[in-house]
Amino acid sequence: MTEQIVDSSTEKWNYNVFLSFRGEDTRNKFLGHLYEELTRRGIQSFKDDMELKRGAEISPALLKAVWESRISIIIFSKHYASSSWCLEELVHIIKCRREKKQFVLPVFYEVEPTEIRKHQSGSFGHDMAKHEKEFESDKMKVDNWKLALEEAADLAGVEFKNGDNEHSFLHNTAKEVSTKLNHTLLHVVDHPVGLKSRIF
């Protein structure tokens, strides 16, 4: 697994966390509970609630939100790779990780990291095979999606399996994110007076 650090530069950030997810898999349950747990800890998170028409282009505003977030959490669920929107989003997240040292936390929600990394079996293999046919004339696009999947799946992440205790899992995940953010603040604040009161 690849180790990461949160960028401690003084660049302006509008969000603590960007949440990347496949709505039909997680929007009204797991994702909502994670968003609530992050908010409870005072962590400002960006969650796109728009339902997009099939084939819609990813919006510049959404890419801007990714760029202006300290951390991206990618919720890899069964149908994540079925969405070209999610895959384009993922490519941009990986770009931010490379260019801005954005911390990326993969959450493997009832899927195996190897299924994503190899994208040759299971739902990810099925979805990528469909994309290869649909975008036959734009092989580079699909290749970029594959590379982003491989890189993201190779990062140290957290796995949620069917039957796991969701409350404990979300609590621990939000705690890890809070720790990463507070570590960054301790590096960028010259005189951290009153900082202790903001650490949860």
Q: Does the annotation count 89 as an active-site position?
A: yes
Task: From residue 38, give the alpha-carbon distance in Å to each of 21, 78, 185, 197.
Answer: 15, 23, 17, 17
Radius of gyration of the CA atoms of the chain, in A: 17
Write down the catalytic residue from 88, 89, 115, 151: 89
The string of DSSP codes covering the chain is -B------S----SEEEEEE--HHHHTTTHHHHHHHHHHHTT--EE---PPPPTTPPPPHHHHHHHHTEEEEEEEE-TTGGG-HHHHHHHHHHHHHHHHH--EEEEEEESS-HHHHHH-SSHHHHHHHHHHHHHTTT-HHHHHHHHHHHHHHHTB--EEE-TTS-HHHHHHHHHHHHHHHHHHHHHHH-SS-TTGGGG--
- Catalytic positions are 89
